[in-house]
């Protein structure tokens, strides 16, 4: 597959909260991280990082969600919401934008302000079965071309990762899932 030269790499939620002993730890986080690191040089000047954070005050369906996950009701400046290395340094050193939103899906006005209304997005990060999936579907619905790099993503489990990839493959040709970074 050939990716357009003006495609944007969207690195979704490579944050501390998805590592280690966190209740939201993603088992293959390190594997996804390696894949993303290989892609960064290819998208110099066209990379955006995203961060999930809790809303100041949950509303609607988020109220019962945060009842189940009260540990996550921390302010956006809490260390658990920080990008992990090497992504924090990459964003800082390269001047890559960081979009922070309190929603699973990252497609919206903040991301559009960086990448434009109908971009080609190359999605990587965590969690395949939550934030990557939510971003891919919303972006495709809005007319963005979406490519998901499977081996640069990680899910809550291997099974959840594979189910999410299968669901996104159903959206072809709006969403293309490539298995490895070598397929780009």
Q: For 1, which DSSP code?
A: -
How far apart CA 162 and CA 139 sit, in angstroms, is 20
Q: Are 126 and 14 in contact (CB under 8 A)?
A: yes
Which residues have a Cβ under 8 Å from the Cβ of 7 and sit 6 or more positions away?
43, 46, 119, 120, 121, 122, 145, 147
Q: For the chain (length 184 residues), average pLDDT per consecutive 10? A: 88 97 96 96 96 97 97 96 97 97 97 96 98 98 97 97 98 95 80
What is the percentage of the chain residues whose pLDDT exceeds 90?
A: 94
> What are 72-100's pLDDT values in tens digits?
999 999 999 999 999 999 999 999 999 99
Sheet holding 145-154, edge to edge: 98-101, 47-52, 8-12, 120-126, 145-154, 175-178
3-state secondary structure at position 160:
helix
- What does pTM read for this prediction? 0.97
> What are 121-143's pLDDT values in tens digits?
999 999 999 999 999 999 999 99
Q: Are 168 and 148 in contact (CB under 8 A)?
A: yes
Query: CA nearest 48: which of 40, 59, 56?
Result: 40
């Amino acid at each position: 597959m050939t990716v357009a030269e003006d495609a944007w790499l969207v690195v979704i939620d490579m944050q501390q909260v998805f590592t280690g002993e966190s209740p939201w730890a993603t088992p293959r986080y390190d594997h996804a991280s390696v894949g993303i690191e290989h892609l960064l040089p290819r998208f110099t000047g066209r990379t955006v990082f995203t961060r999930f954070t809790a809303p100041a005050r949950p509303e609607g369906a988020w109220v019962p969600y945060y009842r189940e996950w009260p540990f996550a009701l921390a302010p956006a400046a809490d260390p658990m919401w920080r990008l992990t290395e090497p992504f924090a340094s990459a964003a800082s050193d390269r001047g890559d934008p960081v979009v922070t939103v309190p929603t699973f899906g990252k497609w919206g006005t903040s991301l559009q302000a960086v990448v434009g209304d109908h971009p080609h997005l190359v999605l990587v990060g965590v969690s395949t079965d939550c934030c990557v999936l939510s971003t891919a579907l919303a972006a495709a619905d809005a007319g963005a071309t979406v490519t998901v790099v499977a081996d640069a993503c990680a899910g809550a489990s291997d099974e959840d990762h594979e189910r999410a990839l299968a669901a996104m493959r159903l959206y072809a040709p709006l969403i293309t899932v490539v298995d490895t970074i070598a397929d780009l």
